[in-house]
Amino acid sequence: MKRSTAAIAACAVVLGSAATVLPHAMAAATGCRVDYAVASQWSGGFQASVKVTNLGDTVSGWTLGVAFTAGQRVTQGWNATWTQSGATATATNVDWNRTLGTGASTDLGFVGSWSGSNPAPTSFTLNGVACTGSISTTSTTSTTTTSTTTTTTNPPVGRTPVAINGQLRVCGVNLCNQYNRPIQLRGMSTHGIQWFAKCHNNASLDALATDWNADLFRIAMYVQEQGYETNPSGFTNQVNSLVDMAEARGMYAVIDFHTLTPGDPNYNLERAKTFFRSVATRNSAKNNVIYEIANEPNGVSWASIKSYAEQVIPVIRAADPDAVILVGTRAWSSLGVSEGSNETEVINNPVNAQNIMYTFHFYAASHKDNYRATVSRAAARLPLFVSEFGTVLATGGGTYDRASSAAWLDLLDQLKISYANWTYSDANESSAAFRPGTCNGSTFTGSGVLTESGAFIKSRINTPDNFPTS
């Protein structure tokens, strides 16, 4: 990522430790399910999260009706257009969550006012159909306590991304599963694990696997910037621990040797050999590991990057001969575009190795049509993997660009190119999925903890994978 080291800031947790999950009564229909929780409450006001799941046929365009008792009113909402008439509030889809397939969910939220008492809504409707589907909740907390108890139900064995797809391989220009069928993995990248370790624990990984339904967890281990070079054994152990946590939840883990400054990966050649020899030896029996050997080379020729790759890849192959390896490309992994080149330099001079893919990174508010055109052309000739992208500027900040982000993800879906979004953290920058302060608490599910970018990315990742098995 092209940015300076992010400052670490903390604010109040939006869905904090005093969340109360409330039951509600409903009429007789089975077209939808709603999970409703009051995240926090104060004199005259409260904040609530609403997860709606479509149990019927696919809908393209929806309205959620919320029937309050007297005295409650929505004052501000997110992830939908909220209005209220009398005791009934209405949430109407925005463009990016317009379509809800069968079994698909979307997270909404609002701040409301109340008087007298604040019971749960009496009913919910989706496009006029009463939501009576059974409700399952993963966190329960009394309003009189200051801690949250979380119970996690992992997906059944055989239904996680790793259980279905097994050991991955590169076939032609595609990432393929154990059935030799092209697949797309969708998931999230950590921020620097030296700064945001609190964001990557059992609760947050449970949320990523079961609330987001992610396939992929990228572990960004910086080499400089207070990273690996300061404590090689400590960071190696931290990476291995996160690999194990991803494996336990059936997610693939990308081990990212996060080189950024200096931009020439050869500066860290010996460190890379030492690190990858260690992690490949330790994780060689696992089938959920992907190795990313150089995050964002910049200011250096493709020939130098290729030379680095052809020295590091054999180190990994000596211990782990089957895993997919990701090779960074020139100009911050833009296939050279950000430094005036294009994909032809890789096509004409590919890395001499098998079972590899080339990385492409983009930030939607900075990189638009000419970058998308490059990916469209290159995908016909090269196996590509978007191991990092953001919905904002290349600095990691700035305004979330929903239109460009949607155009990018539509293209990646069309081409079956796997991706990891930057970042699964509460960094004080607009690229973060969580609101500042979230990682100081224990709640990582629901809409109240998400930024605008996080809500959009979750809605895209949360759609069914439909992995082919024959």
Residue 162 structure tokens: 């790793």
CA nearest neighbour of 106 among 470, 466, 468, 461: 461
> How far is the C-alpha of 455 from the C-alpha of 68, rounded, in Å?
25
Cα 51 from Cα 34, distance rounded (Å): 6
| 388 annotated active-site | yes
* 63-69-70 Cα angle (round to 5): 115
Catalytic annotation, pick one of 296, 343, 345, 429: 296
What are the backbone angles phi and psi of residue 84, rounded to the nearest 5°?
Answer: -150, 140
Residue 339 designated active-site: no
Half-sphere exposure of 42 (CA within 13 A, CB side): 5
Give, as one character, the DSSP assignment of residue 211: I
Q: Active-site residue among 247, 343, 345, 388?
A: 388
Q: What are phi and psi of 2, to 5 degrees?
A: -85, 95
Contact status, residue 455 vs residue 78, Cβ threshold 8 Å: yes
Cα(26)–Cα(122) distance, rounded to whole angstroms?
Answer: 7
How many CB atoms are located within 10 Å of the residue 25 CB?
Answer: 10
Give 376's Cβ-side CA count (13 Å radius).
Answer: 12
Q: In this structure, what is the dihedral angle of CA atoms 196, 201, 203, 209, given to the nearest 10 degrees?
A: 90
For 435, the token pair is 């609101």
User: Which residues, 6+ apart, have CB-to-CB distance to 331 below 8 Å?
Assistant: 297, 298, 337, 338, 339, 341
Which positions are catalytic? 296, 388
